[in-house]
Amino acid sequence: MSFLAGITVYFQPNTKFYLRLLPLFLLLSILVELTAYYLFLKGKPPITLYNFFSSFEFLFYIFLLREILQTRKAKQIIFHISWLYLVLVILNFLFIQKIAAFKSITYATGCLLIVAICIYYFFELFQLPHSVNLIRQPAFWICSGLLFYYSCSFPIFGLTNFVKAASPLILKNIGNIIVLLNVFLYSSFTIAFLCRLRTRKSTL
């Protein structure tokens, strides 16, 4: 649904570059999930696929947030951070955590980076000399969704390698929380795609 809503941005005037990229990323996410489901049916764990995609996901969101921010110095810092994160991902794949294990180190680091950048976005927002209609600001909805999702998923996925012996009830509850987080994230993206649309009021 979020991807379908994202198609509307290509028919909206003055759509910014980051907003045009997001539906393409959602389409890639759908393909990855379908591939993971196919591997699961074949009895092959998709953990390696998720490791690679989650690393790409963080790099994409960092780039997306960099496009949203206004401060030039902040953009430069985030550019260097993205390269450092890429180096960390490569080192983690090669030397720290095994290829078949969930990359909790890079995931936790990515969560912290996304949360920090989103917080800085709100700092920039509060510094604006004029008022802004947040309801019609796609960047506001995107950053709100990312901030909430990664703030909450950090303690869940960051400790994944340490909760393997958890009871089935705990694992089920964690799964339900993850579903709710995904619903909130993609609902925020959907609003970001549609919030600039203006509906005509009919007169009788």
The answer to whether residue 201 sits within a structural domain is: no
pLDDT in tens, 163-198: 556 667 777 887 888 899 999 999 999 999 999 887
- Please give the tally of structural domains in the chain: 1
Q: Is residue 85 part of a domain?
A: yes
Tell me if 117 is assigned to some domain.
yes
Asked, for residue 204, whether it belongs to a domain, the answer is no
Is residue 123 in a domain? yes
The verdict on pTM exceeding 0.95 is no
Kindly state whether residue 118 falls inside one of the protein's structural domains.
Answer: yes
pLDDT of 164: 58
* Res. 3: pLDDT tops 90: yes
Q: Which range of residues forms the domain containing residue 54?
A: 2-194
pLDDT tens-place string over residues 70-129: 999 999 999 999 999 999 999 988 888 766 677 888 888 999 999 999 999 999 998 888
On whether residue 200 sits in a domain, the answer given is no
DSSP state of 160: G
Rg of the chain over all Cα atoms, to the nearest angstrom = 19
62: Cβ contacts below 8 Å, ≥ 6 apart: 78, 81, 82, 85, 113, 114, 117
Q: Which residues of 42-70 are buried (b: 16+ CB within 10 A; e: fewer)?
A: eeeebebebbebbbebbbbbbebbbebbe
In the numeric block, the tokens 């964690």 are attached to 174
